[in-house]
């Protein structure tokens, strides 16, 4: 297929060869093509970089292309496609308004410098500038909060939680349908968090097996200090739980007691599915009515557990979606830099520093906003965006 410039992905003359998917054939063909003098394989991200340089792609769309390549589920694909279709990118639609406001404030401050003789004719009081800047900073904070999950990693996270040796790893394997994790009678078998994609393709979640979590009281001074490996295992479990959308709480005793004060190990918004594990053994004295009794030995209720977990994950995804923006890591770090620059300007205004200082802080904030919007593109920004591409695309 021949594409004449500028009507190609990169905006340059392009030609596409459609070949049968035989790796051996593709390899021979590539070998024959690069044998021509001056021909070489594309570098990672080169096509997108060329498209950007020819004005065919904005930086935000390049990020979205990366998300498209990395998409592992239909939902991710959808989010990436939407971002790609929108020239302003992925939810940073306020950056224009922020820039306008910063330019307005800067203009007033600069007018003040020009007429510095007339003290009472100052176009903007420092307190007013500080107040207007804090409105911009609040807007950036709100966007950062909504965009803290980026596109390539927004599958609901389902974490198996329980004390050591409560059958988590066995359940993990049973749900996956293969022996992925080591399950053994010793307490403390699992040391790392194992993550696997799980569920139907249209509604995939990340299923995580975690080390058994010790009750807070066990960490008291009377008990020997945990080994570094134990402490590390506890920390990785806590880290996974803190990010969980769904917690599958495994307890063969049916007591579901967190024993001890202290904050819950998972976010308040997480959905909790209670499971009485090892249900083939003697039933617990007073099981919670809402808890599901499962066994990996006779397989009871495993299908029902799968249904409940996916339902909870779906509910978690629904409640998260309206607040979630598809911000790439580049956009998040750019926004953090803008936020810091606006903060510095607001501080200068609050402390009634000279107008020249405030103006210079405002200009720096505008610069970082311009980088975020892709209007100014220092080489390192481009490098960072395009180097993340794994293949020619």
User: Which chain residues interact with ligand GTP by CB under 6 A?
Assistant: 162, 164-170, 183-185, 187-190, 211-212, 277-278, 280-281, 295-297
Whose tokens are 């009794």? That residue is: 293
- Given the complex with ligand GTP, which of 126 and 252 has the nearer CB atom? 252
Give the residue at shortest CB distance from ligand GTP. Answer: 212
- Given the complex with ligand GTP, which of 172 and 389 has the nearer CB atom? 172
- Given the complex with ligand GTP, which of 181 and 349 has the nearer CB atom? 181
- DSSP state for residue 35 in the 8-state scheme: T
- Given the complex with ligand GTP, which of 281 and 384 has the nearer CB atom? 281
Q: How far is the CB of 303 from ligand GTP (least distance, A)?
A: 15
- Given the complex with Mg ion, which of 83 and 171 has the nearer CB atom? 171
C-alpha span between 150 and 79 (Å, rounded): 10
| Class of residue 351 by CB neighbours under 10 A (exposed 0-12, middle 13-18, buried 19+) | exposed
Using CB distances below 5 to 8 A depending on partner kind, what does residue 221 bind out of ligand GTP, Mg ion, none? none
Are 194 and 205 a contacting pair, CB within 8 Å?
Answer: no
Q: Which two tokens stand for residue 30?
A: 């590539």
C-alpha span between 180 and 159 (Å, rounded): 15
Q: How far is the CB of 50 from ligand GTP (least distance, A)?
A: 50
Q: Which of 134, 53, 19, 114 is nearest to 374 (CA)?
A: 53
Interacting residue ranges for Mg ion, rule: CB under 5 A: 168-169, 189-190
- DSSP state for residue 12 in the 8-state scheme: S
Q: How far is the CB of 188 from ligand GTP (least distance, A)?
A: 5
Using CB distances below 5 to 8 A depending on partner kind, what does residue 58 bind out of Mg ion, ligand GTP, none? none
Using CB distances below 5 to 8 A depending on partner kind, what does residue 295 bind out of Mg ion, ligand GTP, none? ligand GTP
Q: Which two tokens stand for residue 199?
A: 């569920």
The dihedral built from the CA positions of residue 278, 284, 289 and 290, taken in this order, carries a sign that is negative
Q: How far is the CB of 305 from Mg ion (least distance, A)?
A: 17
């Amino acid at each position: 297929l021949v594409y004449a410039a500028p009507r190609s992905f990169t905006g340059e003359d392009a030609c596409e060869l459609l070949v049968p998917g035989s790796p051996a054939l593709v390899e021979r063909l590539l070998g024959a093509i690069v044998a021509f003098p001056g021909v070489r394989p594309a570098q990672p991200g080169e096509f997108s970089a060329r498209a950007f340089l020819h004005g065919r792609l904005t930086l935000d769309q390049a990020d979205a292309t990366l998300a498209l390549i990395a998409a592992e589920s239909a939902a991710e694909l959808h989010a990436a496609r939407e971002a790609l279709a929108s020239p302003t990118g992925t939810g940073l639609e306020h950056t224009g308004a922020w820039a306008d406001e910063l330019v307005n404030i800067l203009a007033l401050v600069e007018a003040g410098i020009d007429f510095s003789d007339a003290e009472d004719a100052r176009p903007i009081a420092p307190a007013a500038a500080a107040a207007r800047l804090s409105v911009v900073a609040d807007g950036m904070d709100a966007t950062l909060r909504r965009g803290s999950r980026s596109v390539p990693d927004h599958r609901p996270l389902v974490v198996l939680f329980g004390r050591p040796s409560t059958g988590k790893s066995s359940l993990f394997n049973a749900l996956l349908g293969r022996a992925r994790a080591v399950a053994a009678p010793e307490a403390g078998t699992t040391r790392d968090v194992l993550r696997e994609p799980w569920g139907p393709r249209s509604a995939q979640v990340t299923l995580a097996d975690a080390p058994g979590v010790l009750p807070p009281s066990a960490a008291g001074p009377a008990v020997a200090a945990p080994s570094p490996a134990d402490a590390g295992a506890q920390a990785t479990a806590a880290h996974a739980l803190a990010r969980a959308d769904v917690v599958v709480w495994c307890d063969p005793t049916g007591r579901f007691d967190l024993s001890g004060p202290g904050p819950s190990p998972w976010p308040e918004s997480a959905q909790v599915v209670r499971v009485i594990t090892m249900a083939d053994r003697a039933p617990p004295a007073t099981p919670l009515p809402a808890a599901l009794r499962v066994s990996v030995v006779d397989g009871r209720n495993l299908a029902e557990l799968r249904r409940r977990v996916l339902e909870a994950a779906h509910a978690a995804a629904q409640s998260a979606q309206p607040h979630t923006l598809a911000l790439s890591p580049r956009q998040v770090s750019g926004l953090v830099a803008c936020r810091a620059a606006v903060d510095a300007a607001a501080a200068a205004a609050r402390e009634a520093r000279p107008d020249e200082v405030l103006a210079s802080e405002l200009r720096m904030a505008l610069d970082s906003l311009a980088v975020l919007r892709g209007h100014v593109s220092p080489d390192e920004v481009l490098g960072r965006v395009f180097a993340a591409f794994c293949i020619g695309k």
